[in-house]
Chain A
Amino acid sequence: MDLHQLWTILSLPDNVPIVLLLFVVPFYTWYGLRQAFANDRLIAQLEGDPAMAKTHHRKVQPFKTGWTREVHVWPYLLRIEFLAAIIVTVILMVWSITLNAPLEEPSNPTLTMNPSKAPWYFLGLQEMLVYFDPWMAGVVMPSLIIVGLMVIPYIDTNPLGNGYYTYKQRKFSILTFIFGFIVLWVSMIVIGTLIRGPGWMWFWPGTTWDHNRLIFEVNRDLPDLFGITGRVAKIIFGAIVVGLYLGAAGVAIHKLITKTAFNRKIYARMSVLQYIVMQTFLVIMLALPVKILIRLMFRIKYIWVTPWFNI
């Protein structure tokens, strides 16, 4: 156990945001889901008692008859904003006084940094480079993430859960977002920051970053495993395998979308276009963990080998 190495990584000024992220993201996930479960209990109660549903104010917040529904922004909101501004300023000041921004040596194109890492918020993408070629990890995937986030409101046809925390009424969308945000985005940032060392090799926290470590890893392409050597044969074989994945993932996602009676109800509200767009983005999103598993478990680098691109 090399605690010194661990401390060196954790105390690197630019890694402090990741350490912060490690605490803040779980906290707010808990904070949000706790309110979601509280609302779910209220929903269950109201669904079991139609008479109560007609008269209840339908919030878990404390309420007394006679209280006004609205309050003045001045002072009830503005004082909170003022306080928040002061607190943020204090945090930023203290952080800036106690910790100096990093400044390395002057830039030198002849001296490569090892490991040379992107800023922390892009480390998820850099980590993706291990599993995909740059055109995929650096260009196609980020674009799809951006567009995929933008289309969310237009493909989510579930009218429930608009403006309040709930888990029960939006299980599928909440689990999908948590999978994308926490399991893929945040955890890959954490891996890229804390675990990837020199040569972008995997060093468990607590092990020493050995700059001379070599890993004799033989990465194979899937067509080679099946003994396919011809160029055209490889293209056709890869296309078939990728096609099979798309089909299988599509079927699996369809099963998931139409699993419960409620899910089928929401599914019935979707237009064909909404369904196709949703399937496309979910299938591609799922391809990332699938490729990671294939790479880590079977040491397979490419599935589809062509003269123009490799996947």
Chain B
Amino acid sequence: MADTNGHDGKPASAGTPAAGGNGASGSGNGGNGGSKLQAVIAGAKATQTRAIEELKETVKAPEKTDVWKSVLRVKHDETPRSRALGVLSNVFLHLHPAKINRDAVAYNYTWGMGGMTFYVYITLVFTGTLLMFYYHPSKIVAFRDILYLESDVPFGKLLRNMHRWGAHLMVIMVELHMFRVFLTGSYKKPREFNWVVGVLLLVLTLLLSFTGYLLPDDQLGFWAVTVGTNMARATPLLGHAGPFGPQLGMTPFNDVRFGLLGGSIVDANALLRAYIWHCVAIPIIASAFMVVHFWRVRKDGGISGPAPVMLESEIKDVKKI
């Protein structure tokens, strides 16, 4: 750095008296123009040097730039306070507390299923959105769209596979998450209501997967949905083949199955309904419940454990109302 300065400084300092001398003697125009040019070059070189210097400083310590500070808002040092702020002042990380129980980070307690379920949900939203670019929810082209996706769209097959297997993975993970929460008794006070929200999320997960099943419009999805919705016609009171349904005036054209399919058979309306439930309605509802679920985890005191064991002799008497 110092070398470059010295090297660049020499012609600059040599150029200035030369220019002054030319002006005083008033000699040839060519000489005057040449010295002006030299001054401009010298100025440009000085600017270049400064730019290089500033760039090097930026690369060496990017956290000191205004842009960096504006994005991250707080300073990050190797201090506990700074580590806490790094989590708390970040919009994506602020769902976490600043500190957690040291045993709670061990994999064997939580199995990590809740977090991984959420991550798989995010990948499903991502791949699903990309799939929506290539899919029309219409009886005429739906199946062809899948063929087109699989054979002509770059990475289309991978995209569909990831969406399909991600959905299966999510169902398995949700069930295992529930199993773990039960085994650790984490639904007990004060987390009762969050368990209820979790059950609703399980149902929504199954519904998301089921509504997606029909969309390729192939034999597999068609008959699965036919079998599934045929049960709805047997709904007590509200289905035309269910107990007390006919007595209440239920027919294939006004019962609960008709409402689900938008018709009396699985056809174009059913495809459109499945599409809207799958891509718009249920994801929004599920996201809302997820927000509540995560928020309640924090408000109920973070994850449940591993808590210190309690002994039978320490049970307190129940309060009588």
**Cross-chain contact B191 with A153 (CB below 8 angstroms):** yes
Measured CA separation A107–B146 after assembly (Å): 13
Measured CA separation A71–B97 after assembly (Å): 11
Chain B residues whose CB sits within 8 angstroms of the CB of A25 once the complex forms:
176, 179
A-B pairs with the 10 shortest C-beta distances? Answer: A138-B231, A163-B307, A163-B305, A107-B222, A58-B308, A96-B161, A153-B192, A309-B243, A134-B234, A101-B164
- Apart from A107-B266, A116-B223, A164-B305, what are 6 other A-B pairs with CB-CB below 8 Å? A25-B176, A33-B183, A46-B309, A61-B103, A72-B83, A75-B83
Measured CA separation A31–B108 after assembly (Å): 8
**Cross-chain contact A92 with B166 (CB below 8 angstroms):** yes
Chain A residues whose CB sits within 8 angstroms of the CB of B195 once the complex forms:
150, 152-153
19 contacts between A and B (CB under 8 A): A20-B172, A24-B176, A32-B184, A67-B102, A70-B99, A73-B97, A74-B84, A85-B119, A101-B163, A106-B143, A135-B239, A139-B242, A150-B200, A156-B188, A160-B312, A161-B310, A162-B186, A162-B310, A163-B305
Chain B residues whose CB sits within 8 angstroms of the CB of A93 once the complex forms:
162
Given A32-B179, A89-B123, A164-B185; A118-B228 close (CB under 8 Å): yes
Question: Nearest chain-A residue to B163 (Cβ)?
Answer: A101
* A103 within 8 A of partner (CB): yes
**Cross-chain contact A96 with B162 (CB below 8 angstroms):** yes
**Cross-chain contact B100 with A73 (CB below 8 angstroms):** yes
Question: Nearest chain-A residue to B230 (Cβ)?
Answer: A134
Q: Could you say which of A71, A112, A154, A159 contacts B102, with CB atoms under 8 Å apart? A: A71
Chain B residues whose CB sits within 8 angstroms of the CB of A161 once the complex forms:
184-185, 188, 310
**Cross-chain contact A170 with B185 (CB below 8 angstroms):** yes
Stretch from B8-16, B60-68, B110-118, B284-292 forming part of the interface with A: B110-118
**Cross-chain contact B213 with A119 (CB below 8 angstroms):** yes
* B39 within 8 A of partner (CB): no
Determine which residue in B162, B203, B220, B230 has the highest number of CB atoms from chain A within 10 A of its CB, and name it: B220
Question: Nearest chain-B residue to A39 (Cβ)?
Answer: B309
Measured CA separation A118–B229 after assembly (Å): 10
Chain B residues numbered 277-321 whose CB sits less than 8 Å from any CB in chain A: 304-313, 315-316, 318
**Cross-chain contact B115 with A81 (CB below 8 angstroms):** yes
**Cross-chain contact A140 with B99 (CB below 8 angstroms):** no
Write the nearest CB–CB distance from B196 to chain A, whole angstroms.
5
Chain B residues whose CB sits within 8 angstroms of the CB of A92 once the complex forms:
120, 123, 162, 165-166, 169
* B160 within 8 A of partner (CB): yes
**Cross-chain contact A73 with B87 (CB below 8 angstroms):** yes
Write the nearest CB–CB distance from A159 to chain B, whole angstroms.
6
Chain A residues numbered 1-47 whose CB sits less than 8 Å from any CB in chain B: 14, 16-17, 20-21, 24-25, 28-29, 31-33, 35-36, 39, 42-43, 46-47
**Cross-chain contact B186 with A163 (CB below 8 angstroms):** yes
Measured CA separation A68–B80 after assembly (Å): 13
Report the contact-size class of chain A (Cβ under 8 Å from the partner).
35 or more
Question: Nearest chain-B residue to A261 (Cβ)?
Answer: B312
Measured CA separation A173–B184 after assembly (Å): 11
Chain B residues numbered 65-105 whose CB sits less than 8 Å from any CB in chain A: 80, 83-84, 86-87, 93, 96-103, 105
**Cross-chain contact B171 with A121 (CB below 8 angstroms):** yes
**Cross-chain contact A112 with B223 (CB below 8 angstroms):** yes
Given A28-B179, A163-B304; A58-B309 close (CB under 8 Å): yes
Determine which residue in A53, A126, A165 has the highest number of CB atoms from chain B within 10 A of its CB, and name it: A165
A72-106 interface code vs B (CB 8 A; 1 in, 0 out)? 11111110110011001101110111011111111
Q: Could you say which of A16, A20, A73, A129 contacts B96, with CB atoms under 8 Å apart? A: A73
B119-148 interface code vs A (CB 8 A; 1 in, 0 out)? 110010000000000000000000100110
* B272 within 8 A of partner (CB): no
Chain A residues whose CB sits within 8 angstroms of the CB of B105 once the complex forms:
71, 76-77, 80
**Cross-chain contact A265 with B315 (CB below 8 angstroms):** yes
Measured CA separation A6–B96 after assembly (Å): 47
Report the contact-size class of chain B (Cβ under 8 Å from the partner).
35 or more
Measured CA separation A58–B191 after assembly (Å): 22
Chain B residues numbered 195-225 whose CB sits less than 8 Å from any CB in chain A: 195-196, 199-200, 202-203, 206, 209-210, 213, 216-224
Q: Could you say which of B146, B227, B234, B244 contacts A126, with CB atoms under 8 Å apart? A: B227
Measured CA separation A160–B143 after assembly (Å): 54
Chain A residues whose CB sits within 8 angstroms of the CB of B227 once the complex forms:
116-118, 126
Write the nearest CB–CB distance from A192 to chain B, whole angstroms.
12
Measured CA separation A161–B315 after assembly (Å): 11
Given A59-B309, A116-B223; A269-B318 close (CB under 8 Å): yes
Chain B residues whose CB sits within 8 angstroms of the CB of A29 once the complex forms:
179
Chain B residues numbered 143-184 whose CB sits less than 8 Å from any CB in chain A: 143, 146-147, 150, 157-158, 160-166, 168-169, 171-172, 175-176, 179-180, 182-184
Chain A residues whose CB sits within 8 angstroms of the CB of B311 once the complex forms:
43, 46-47, 53
**Cross-chain contact A107 with B182 (CB below 8 angstroms):** no
* B5 within 8 A of partner (CB): no
**Cross-chain contact B242 with A135 (CB below 8 angstroms):** yes
Measured CA separation A28–B110 after assembly (Å): 11
* A188 within 8 A of partner (CB): no
Measured CA separation A216–B260 after assembly (Å): 37
Measured CA separation A36–B176 after assembly (Å): 16
Measured CA separation A170–B309 after assembly (Å): 13
**Cross-chain contact B182 with A177 (CB below 8 angstroms):** yes
Chain B residues whose CB sits within 8 angstroms of the CB of A65 once the complex forms:
none
* A213 within 8 A of partner (CB): no
A105-145 interface code vs B (CB 8 A; 1 in, 0 out)? 11111011100111111100110010001110111100000
Measured CA separation A160–B316 after assembly (Å): 11
Measured CA separation A167–B313 after assembly (Å): 17
